[in-house]
A and B are shown apart, each in its own frame.
Chain A
């Protein structure tokens, strides 16, 4: 059947391709297939990277996008996820796909996202004048391998199969009339389809490798290729000389967007951010109060800082929480700071702490100097064994030990500490604190931690302070 030229963007023709280049053959086969499948031109996204092959979408009367070198699959992934009902087809050169784009090729195959990648493999970087690509055969000449390519040729189809593409095939532009059939199968595959199409680059590859004209390159494609079935029957030496063409893989595999949709469908509702009911401030001023929790990772100091901050907000005050830590997930050092105030807080970090909670010896040693004169240090003497007196008040309580022995769980030490703070500092309201603890902890932890809070509160109120 004659080729329907309404599928071409004729304002861009004639093509920029050299005489005999196979890219136009692939373009024609593609557009024939689009018509045969009855696809609407508005439902086809043609996407490319950089190179000669990248110009193909310009000639296709579809939504056509030429992107950046090697990244077409990333753009196409965004397009397909946004418009999954559209048909997304990519045209990539061998260098674009396997060199700079190799990572994206790997992951697109792994994801098995529903699109077709047509790789126009002419063994070279053609647009830039004939440099070696990962597809350039060993020993071949190029402008960056003037003494013969020392590198080995990548087998794109094998990589695609290994990476998880559900349809993988190879053909050549000599086999022009077989291309629409392969493309149809690829397009009908609901997953990542790869079609590697071997073609001649007479200007870039041919001239440097003793092909007298493009006709000789086509003869090569005709003579060097055998069907996959025939290929299996060859001896190892014969296999060295031949290129298998045909379908390497055609399977059903769960497709990426289907899986995403299934996951999204299983979600019952949105978890909205929690609203905090604030009472209007009672008029009592706290000024700017700076508090540091310091200890090691895993002691729950960040959570303590958050709960304390939310408590102040419930009371109609303002609070800013910051934290710092080393790279360790557990152990190491952890610092959690809260700056509280009556109005918006400008400088968000502790300048001169009014109060330091030290849960390890190391943190006590490091931060005690930063506490202002007349301030307070609450030291967990389970870990802080050496306490030095200066112009600072000190409250020494074996918090972690009490939690461990009396409550049976050392991990509620941070909550007990909050109780102590509420007991000691009059401006922290116990009820607001209790509400914040309940809001921030999972229900199964409520019992234990409320006990810890109450015990801490009693300690804070009752203890005069061991000097």
Chain B
């Protein structure tokens, strides 16, 4: 579940049952249930394959649990609506796929600049453009990092199971509140549409990070004055704290200050620092057999499952393979990866794209002057990478070495 420290459980009604439940859910269904479990009470959505089931699920779940659902006229307005709702005190989410994710970028940037917590789900499909509407890809990884114009850091998580579609949605909300940032959730069409057994927790097992409300009265409050961790307290609109919010560069009072270089520099660096400086708290990952791996397989999302299978098969056949799974794609688990790759001679990176995360791993290795053979295993035909493809690649890499 959410394994980070948090002081209190939100004392709002959490719409889960009193006991655990075993369910057979579709990934998208589990994401919708996860949002409700996280206390989400506002959803704005627009239909797009393969994410539509999330909107459909929440169109029912929101009115059933006292929340609000609206189908907006396009994805740009979905993103705008969830930011407005969050500013006014809601916990809000939207879900889309590649083309809609592209449309949302400007407003996601606005959420970054105004430090508005919200969750954006991108159930990735083949692109670019209309691409492969019903088939999976992992091709929005770099877009999640850099889709917004301007300098910024972002948090993005990649689930690999239906159970994680549930639990990580909650995690996304918690990270969003803790760091006052939009959080991108990056399943792919396989995870979104597959159905698996999932154990839903009882309501008292769910830990939520409550919104950081102001600790001073309105006359002393500065909306963008950071706490020690770089994150300002958040006053909801209409709760007695009146200030100006703008997407322009602004000072700690919210006043636009476009002609003051010091203010600009301080703000941009603080916004990035919020995430970069707290990366130890934010980074999530998994690994196995890395202590003595000769070849490290780095995989995320549904491809991780193939990698898992391949690595176990390789080990069974006496080959020293190991895997490293980034769960937070951004910020990248760079230190953890560098440690995991120590014993390995080569890194195999299977991805359903043309090597987007392989590029990031190459950057990490290069920046730290660590030399390893990096082998991207790319697939862009709408099909999931199979375990045997990873198995064969690892064997070839070892033979060539």
The reply to whether B22 and A271 contact each other, CB–CB distance below 8 Å, is no
Q: Does A278 contact B (CB under 8 A)?
A: yes
The reply to whether B63 and A83 contact each other, CB–CB distance below 8 Å, is no
Q: Does A147 contact B (CB under 8 A)?
A: no
Contacts known (A74-B72, A269-B64, A270-B15); A68 close to B247, Cβ less than 8 A: yes
Compute how far the CA of A263 lies from the CA of B59 in the bound complex, rounded to whole angstroms: 12
Contacts known (A63-B237, A267-B63, A320-B196); A273 close to B80, Cβ less than 8 A: no
The reply to whether B90 and A275 contact each other, CB–CB distance below 8 Å, is no
Q: Which of A236-244, A342-350, A451-459 faces chain B?
A: A342-350
> Can you pick out 9 interface pairs between chain A and chain B where the beta carbons lie within 8 Å of each other?
A66-B247, A82-B68, A260-B68, A263-B63, A264-B63, A276-B22, A313-B24, A345-B196, A346-B308
Of residues 54 through 101 on chain B, the ones whose CB sits less than 8 Å from some CB of chain A are 60-61, 63-66, 68, 70, 72-74, 76-90, 92
- Classify the interface of chain A: helix, strand, loop or mixed: mixed
Contacts known (A68-B247, A320-B194); A42 close to B70, Cβ less than 8 A: no
Q: Does A43 contact B (CB under 8 A)?
A: yes
Of residues 52 through 104 on chain A, the ones whose CB sits less than 8 Å from some CB of chain B are 57-58, 61-68, 71-79, 81-83, 86, 103-104
Q: Given the complex, which residues of A lie within 8 Å of B256, measured CB to CB? A: 58
Return the CB mask of A303-326 against B: 1 if under 8 Å, else 0: 000100110010000111111110
Compute how far the CA of A103 lies from the CA of B80 in the bound complex, rounded to whole angstroms: 13
The reply to whether A78 and B92 contact each other, CB–CB distance below 8 Å, is yes
**Extra pairs beyond A65-B237, A78-B44 (15, CB < 8 Å):** A45-B237, A64-B243, A65-B244, A68-B247, A71-B76, A74-B76, A74-B77, A78-B83, A276-B23, A318-B197, A324-B135, A346-B308, A348-B194, A348-B302, A348-B305
Say which residue of B63, B73, B190, B246 sits within 8 Å of A260 (CB atoms). B63
Compute how far the CA of A2 lies from the CA of B337 in the bound complex, rounded to whole angstroms: 67
Q: Does B17 contact A (CB under 8 A)?
A: yes
Of residues 303 through 321 on chain B, the ones whose CB sits less than 8 Å from some CB of chain A are 305-306, 308-309, 312
Q: Given the complex, which residues of B lie within 8 Å of A347, measured CB to CB? A: 305-306, 308-309, 384, 386-387
Q: Does B200 contact A (CB under 8 A)?
A: yes
The reply to whether B42 and A11 contact each other, CB–CB distance below 8 Å, is no
The reply to whether A107 and B73 contact each other, CB–CB distance below 8 Å, is yes
Q: Does A390 contact B (CB under 8 A)?
A: no
Say which residue of B66, B107, B194 sits within 8 Å of A68 (CB atoms). B107
Count, chain A residues at interface, CB 8 A: 68
Compute how far the CA of A43 lies from the CA of B240 in the bound complex, rounded to whole angstroms: 9
Q: Does A272 contact B (CB under 8 A)?
A: yes
Compute how far the CA of A74 lies from the CA of B60 in the bound complex, rounded to whole angstroms: 21
Q: Does B269 contact A (CB under 8 A)?
A: no
Say which residue of A78, A271, A278, A310 sits within 8 Å of B80 (CB atoms). A78
Q: Does B152 contact A (CB under 8 A)?
A: no
Contacts known (A58-B256, A86-B238); A78 close to B85, Cβ less than 8 A: yes
Of residues 244 through 299 on chain B, the ones whose CB sits less than 8 Å from some CB of chain A are 244-248, 253, 255-256
Q: Does B195 contact A (CB under 8 A)?
A: yes
Compute how far the CA of A404 lies from the CA of B242 in the bound complex, rounded to whole angstroms: 69
The reply to whether B68 and A81 contact each other, CB–CB distance below 8 Å, is yes
Q: Given the complex, which residues of B lie within 8 Å of A58, measured CB to CB? A: 244, 246, 255-256
Q: Does B388 contact A (CB under 8 A)?
A: yes
The reply to whether A270 and B73 contact each other, CB–CB distance below 8 Å, is no
The reply to whether A275 and B22 contact each other, CB–CB distance below 8 Å, is yes
Q: How far is the CB of B297 from chain A (nearest CB, A)?
A: 13
Q: Given the complex, which residues of A lie within 8 Å of B12, measured CB to CB? A: none
Of residues 121 through 138 on chain A, the ones whose CB sits less than 8 Å from some CB of chain B are none
Q: Does B325 contact A (CB under 8 A)?
A: no
Q: How far is the CB of B333 from chain A (nearest CB, A)?
A: 21
The reply to whether A324 and B84 contact each other, CB–CB distance below 8 Å, is no
Q: Does B52 contact A (CB under 8 A)?
A: no
Q: Does B21 contact A (CB under 8 A)?
A: yes
Name A266's closest neighbour in chain B (CB-CB). Answer: B63
Name B62's closest neighbour in chain A (CB-CB). Answer: A264
Q: Does A12 contact B (CB under 8 A)?
A: yes
The reply to whether B242 and A77 contact each other, CB–CB distance below 8 Å, is no
Q: Given the complex, which residues of B lie within 8 Å of A63, measured CB to CB? A: 237-238, 241-243
Q: Which of B17, B66, B196, B244 has the most CB of A within 10 A?
A: B244
Of residues 1 through 42 on chain B, the ones whose CB sits less than 8 Å from some CB of chain A are 15, 17, 21-25, 29, 33, 41-42
Return the CB mask of A325-351 against B: 1 if under 8 Å, else 0: 101000000000000000001111101
Q: Does B110 contact A (CB under 8 A)?
A: yes
Q: Given the complex, which residues of A lie within 8 Å of B194, measured CB to CB? A: 320-322, 348
Q: Does B180 contact A (CB under 8 A)?
A: no
Q: Does B106 contact A (CB under 8 A)?
A: yes
Q: How far is the CB of B26 from chain A (nearest CB, A)?
A: 8
Compute how far the CA of A137 lies from the CA of B197 in the bound complex, rounded to whole angstroms: 63
Q: Does B125 contact A (CB under 8 A)?
A: no
Compute how far the CA of A167 lies from the CA of B60 in the bound complex, rounded to whole angstroms: 32
Q: How far is the CB of A376 from chain B (nearest CB, A)?
A: 22
Contacts known (A78-B90, A273-B25, A309-B24); A42 close to B84, Cβ less than 8 A: no
Q: How far is the CB of B328 from chain A (nearest CB, A)?
A: 21
Q: Does B193 contact A (CB under 8 A)?
A: yes
Q: Does A282 contact B (CB under 8 A)?
A: no
Contacts known (A68-B106, A270-B64, A351-B388); A74 close to B80, Cβ less than 8 A: yes
